[in-house]
Amino acid sequence: MNGKITLIQGDITRQETEAIVNAANSSLMGGGGVDGAIHRAGGSAILEECRKIVDRQGRCPTGQAVMTTGGNLKAKYVIHTVGPVWKDGSHGEDVLLANAYRNSLQTAVQNGLQTIAFPSISTGAYRFPLERAARIALQTVRDFLQETKQLEEVRFVLFSQKDLEVYQKEYNQLAIGY
C-alpha cells in the first residue's frame, strides 16, 4: 500500500506528525509567515540547531532541506526547506519548488520517519502562483509515494479555506486517490 496524501485547513505548528516542514529562507535564521510561527511555537532550540548547521555547511540553497529538533512542538522534528522566490516562471521556479518538496521527503525517509506535514511552500511572501504551486506540490508528493513505500502519511496543512479549496481542486484534477 502506498502512503496517503491528506489535505486539511489548519496551523502547521499544531500538527502531531513526526515532522513538520518549514518554508524557511536560505539564512535559516527565521523570518515571517510560517517560519516565524514555527520558531515562536517551537522555541529557541530550533534556532540553535539551525545556527550550528549554518556554521558547519553554510546557508541552505534553494530547493534543499535540513532537519532540526522540533523543540517544544508536538512534532519531534522540523525539516527546513527553501522554496524559490517567484519571478516570472522562467527562472527554474517549478523545478526548484519540486526539489524543495522532494528533498524534504527524502530527508524524512533517510531519518526513518513515516508521517510529515507540509505548509504551502513559496505561496506567501515568495509569491509563487497558488494553483501552479499546488499542482507541483501534489504531483511531486504523489510521484515520491509511488517510489518509496516507507511514508504512511503526507499531510498538507493549508492556512486558509481558499488555499485548501485550491489544493482540493488540483488533487481532484490529478485524480489522486482513484
| C-alpha count within 13 angstroms, C-beta hemisphere, residue 30 | 15
CA–CA dist 164, 168 (Å, integer): 6
Contacting range for ligand ADP; rule: CB under 6 A; set: 106-114, 134-142, 156-164, 169-177: 156-164
Contacts of 32 by beta carbon, 8 Å cutoff, 6+ apart: 125
Residue 65 sits at the vertex; the CA angle it makes with 60 and 66, to the nearest 5 degrees, is: 85
| 143 assigned to active site | no
Q: Spell out the alpha helix ranges (H) of the chain.
A: 33-42, 44-57, 93-110, 130-147, 161-173
Contact code string over 129-148 relative to ligand ADP, x by CB under 6 A? --------------------
Q: How far apart are CA 42 and CA 46, in angstroms?
A: 7
Active-site position among 11, 35, 143, 163: 35
Q: Does 20 bind ligand ADP (CB under 6 A)?
A: no
Which 48-107 positions form the footprint of ligand ADP (CB under 6 A)?
A: 83
Residue 33 is a binding residue for ligand ADP (CB under 6 A): yes
Among 50, 119, 134, 140, binds ligand ADP (CB under 6 A): 119
C-alpha cell at 29: 535564521
State yes or no: residue 12 binds ligand ADP (CB under 6 A): yes
**Which residues, other chains included, contact 60 with Cβ-Cβ below 8 Å and sequence gap of 6+?**
24, 26, 28, 53, 54, 66, 80, 81, 82
Of the pair 108, 134, the CB lying nearest ligand ADP is at: 134
Q: How far is the CB of 8 from ligand ADP (least distance, A)?
A: 10
User: What's the min distance (Å) between Cβ of 96 and ligand ADP?
Assistant: 11
* Smallest separation, CB 147 to ligand ADP (Å): 25
- The correct pick among 125, 146, 169, 173 for binding ligand ADP (CB under 6 A) is 125
Nearest to 155 by CA among 124, 127, 114, 126: 114
Tell me which residues touch ligand ADP (CB under 6 A): 11-13, 23, 33-35, 37, 83, 119-126, 157, 159, 163
Active site residues: 35
